[in-house]
Amino acid sequence: MNVHAFRKQDGDSIRSDRDTRLSPGDTSWLTPLTTTVPREYVHRASLAEVFLTRCTRIHETRFLLTGQWPRAHTFFLSPDGRRHDPMQIAETMRQVGLHLAHAEFDVPLGHHFIMWDMSFVSRVEHLGVGRTPTDLDVEATCVDVVRRRGKLVEFRLVITIERDGHLVANGGGRFTCITEAMYRRLRRSAPATTAHQAASHQPAPLPPSDFGRTAPRDVVLAPGGAPNRWRLNADTSHPILFDHEGDHVPGMVLLESARQAACALLPPGSTLIPATVSTEFRRYVEFTSPCWIEASGLAVTGSGTFHALITGRQDDDEVFTARISGPVVQD
């Protein structure tokens, strides 16, 4: 079975007041808010990592949300600090999908989610960091909705993100919701190892700039013994990538490994902006055996866009694939 899950926070006591549906011409949803949505609804332990501030249902499966990206996020920022990292789009999309499932479709907090794929196309020219935090307007539609006995089982998220009326990105992903009991059955043959119990992290003796990063602890790859091949080597104490405990490597870590592998294909002093990303998750990645990240670069197009194909393998199985493309900038 092809699976990749984002683990839920424990507890089931959080409730939220669901917004009423908008009437034609109603712009009340645009009123600024000073708080985030419940962190439990987006599976984050840190309030600082919650990027959504409001959700309003405008149709049975269509929603308007607001959000905010900080000016100086410690991880989702370009090396020069002038641009939001497009990978923050992926994290925002993940949060939208989980929030809608919990707050709008009544999926209990005790459930788990499987994310099968995720993709987005961004407008790099609209990712600049301004003088104030970046306020987002998000339109989300759930399609291919599957219910069993009235309960949400699966849906595909289609999303558009704007700032100040300008398109930032559009994309989507497919989610499956499963109960705690189903998750335990699914994982009963898997190693019972959590991020906290994983082997202690040994930083790779490589410059972070080779991977499009500035901080050594943000590098999630180590030499793999062959050209264009690396071993997944993420720091499980990382406050962003491992925000909360889990029994497998988070999907955002796999996406980050793909981005870093794509950057590592470039000459020194060059960095890829991952403007377009498409990934498929096929299996959980465990903490107990090496996961190998392999990358190949395709020809740069006439517009200067670099294309890379990344594959993750563990125990001889293909666990995920990603295609990343975007412009190349000089450090």
Which residues 6+ apart lie within 8 Å of 259 measured at CB?
87, 212, 272, 274, 277, 324
State what percent of residues in the chain have pLDDT above 90: 79
Domains 5-186 and 208-330 share a fold: yes
pLDDT of residue 301: 67
Count of CB atoms within 10 A of residue 181's CB? 9
pLDDT of residue 10: 36
Taking residues 38-60, report their average pLDDT: 96
How far apart CA 10 and CA 248 sit, in angstroms, is 16
Q: Where are the alpha helices (DSSP H) in 61-178?
A: 87-99
Angle at CA 226, nearest 5°, toward 222 and 232?
A: 25
pLDDT of residue 166: 98
Angle at CA 287, nearest 5°, toward 223 and 11?
A: 140
Which residues 6+ apart lie within 8 Å of 161 measured at CB?
89, 92, 136, 137, 138, 167, 168, 169, 170
pLDDT of residue 202: 79
pLDDT at 195 over 80: no
Which residues 6+ apart lie within 8 Å of 314 measured at CB?
283, 285, 286, 289, 290, 291, 292
pLDDT of residue 89: 99
Q: Which two tokens stand for residue 249?
A: 């490597």
pLDDT of residue 21: 54
CATH code that applies to domain 208-330: 3.10.129.10
State what percent of residues in the chain have pLDDT above 70: 88
Q: Which of 258, 234, 250, 279 is nearest to 4 (CA)?
A: 250
pLDDT of residue 3: 38
Q: Which two tokens stand for residue 155?
A: 């849906």
pTM: 0.89
pLDDT of residue 299: 64
CATH code that applies to domain 5-186: 3.10.129.10
Q: How confident is the model at residue 201 (pLDDT cuts 50, 70, 90)?
A: confident
pLDDT of residue 1: 37
pLDDT at 18 over 60: no
Q: How confident is the model at residue 199 (pLDDT cuts 50, 70, 90)?
A: low
How far apart CA 144 and CA 173 sit, in angstroms, is 11
Domain boundaries, the chain: 5-186, 208-330
Q: Where are the alpha helices (DSSP H) in the chain?
A: 87-99, 180-186, 251-264
How far apart CA 130 and CA 82 sit, in angstroms, is 8
Model pLDDT for residues 84-93, shown as the tens digit of each residue:
999 999 999 9
Residue 304 zone, left/alpha/beta (φ > 0; ψ -120 to 50; rest)? left
Model pLDDT for residues 130-143, shown as the tens digit of each residue:
999 999 999 999 99
Helix, strand, coil share (%) of the chain residues, nearest 5: 20, 40, 45
pLDDT of residue 132: 96
Which residues 6+ apart lie within 8 Å of 329 measured at CB?
270, 271, 273
Q: Which of 54, 11, 3 is nearest to 190 (CA)?
A: 3
pLDDT at 15 over 80: no
What is the DSSP pairing of strand 62-69 with strand 112-122? unpaired
Q: How confident is the model at residue 238 (pLDDT cuts 50, 70, 90)?
A: very high
Model pLDDT for residues 94-141, shown as the tens digit of each residue:
999 999 999 999 999 989 999 999 999 999 999 999 999 999 999 999
Please identify which residue in the block is written with the tokens 């609804």.
Answer: 41
